[in-house]
Structure 1
């Protein structure tokens, strides 16, 4: 066997099987329109804009894979980017695992990206990819916190006062975004090793941390925010309108 390193190939997995109940009733969150286009399409395009990403795997609701495939076929993507659609599971962890299982054997690194972060700039995507290719087994983009954070003892019922038990040092805290990047073998090992009950893992980097592996942070971007609530959608529309007005999108 040759001792030469394998050539790098990076894929992105977008778990989009959730319902997004905090945005209210209607279509799944990933299929909500942003500027007239489903958020999922914006998220796929955000990954495809990186020349380092040659494959995007979209993990669709188990009963909606055909609909998602049809949506993707209706919206143009760079010809260099292959897009697969696979059905997801009941939890985000199961859906990510389904996406990883669909990757071809020549993929060496993978990005896990939230469909609800449709406006992440390509420079952020490239920074994560570059850090993984430079040898980091796990990389997350993140921003310093603007607000002071309090650790509390959770109340027995919603709305009740909660006692503060600690105030973490803000300078040491970061708000994590996506895409999170991984050496593929490292992330697969985490999913095979770490069992998470209930809703499953909502942060793949945290699973890698539990292996004892160091996760590195690169600068995130303020426009890579997560569209979770109606007000987030209003902000996303404003960002998209500004980009289109300046020919930046």
Structure 2
């Protein structure tokens, strides 16, 4: 990786090797059943615009991002392409390209397909949840800068504010919702709640996916795949507005954040 004192746009790791491009992979093939019945979660409206469109625009605003790969439902790539064409990127996104590819049955499979679709000149990859539509551009830039600075895997995260309990396996025959046994109380000061985009040296992330078979529902955290290989993962400060829209109450909060941005920032 290039020295931190060198520009992300012009630095070289040698006399003939220029720094490549940064791309963002957005897996958007899930249905998001916890948000209730209806369209897939990524296509739910937020302030009158599909959540996926907000997520694409959020990462495309980063000056270091030149390509966004949206991984659509396996049978919905054409629909997602039409949707994004109907909601073009704002001028503030610059010349960012947007590519749509069909995904797999799990998030892990979808991310892998997004990686396969990347051109050869991409050397830094961010993976971002479509359900985090309001991530600030500064968070995206901080993740890219940390990877360009030499970290093979970077995750934005926030301190945990609630006390967390670790529970043991349920008693034999216990019904759903039955009391659970507490086995430990982790030290809260050492815990972090992770967000996205997670950033990676491309070769590291590709290797992690190649060496981890997709079993069951597959991995939901790409940094976790890298950890399993013994590769170090570092954290950078996340942002409270980069929360994940998972349940109906999250959607209400996202609407409120978006309304404030539009009123104060012309977002």
In which range does the TM-score fall when normalised by the shorter chain?
Answer: over 0.9
Deviation at 1:7, TM superposition (A): 1.3
Aligned residue number for residue 14 of structure 1: 26
Aligned residue number for residue 8 of structure 2: none
1:92-111 map, 5 Å: 92-111=107-126
Deviation at 1:76, TM superposition (A): 2.0
Distance 1:158 1:244 in 2: 42
Structure 1: runs of 5 or more not aligned: none
Aligned residue number for residue 170 of structure 1: 188
Distance 1:74 1:129 in 2: 28
- Deviation beyond 4 Å, 4+ runs, structure 1: none
Deviation at 1:157, TM superposition (A): 2.8
Asked if 2 retains the 8 angstrom alpha-carbon contact of 1:8 and 1:133, the reply is no
Structure 2: runs of 5 or more not aligned: 1-13
1:17-166 map, 5 Å: 17-77=29-89, 78-155=93-170, 156-166=174-184
Aligned residue number for residue 222 of structure 2: 204
Instruction: Pick the aligned partner of 2:262 from 235, 238, 244.
Output: 244
SS in 2 for 1:69: helix
SS in 2 for 1:90: coil
TM-score by length of 2: 0.91
Deviation at 1:95, TM superposition (A): 0.2
Aligned residue number for residue 220 of structure 1: 238
Aligned residue pairs, count: 248
Deviation at 1:79, TM superposition (A): 4.5
Root-mean-square deviation over aligned CA pairs: 1.0
SS in 1 for 2:193: strand
Taking a change above 3 Å as real, the CA distance of residues 248 and 164 of structure 1, as seen in their structure-2 partners, is: farther
TM-score by length of 1: 0.97
Distance 1:5 1:210 in 2: 30
Distance 1:154 1:139 in 2: 32
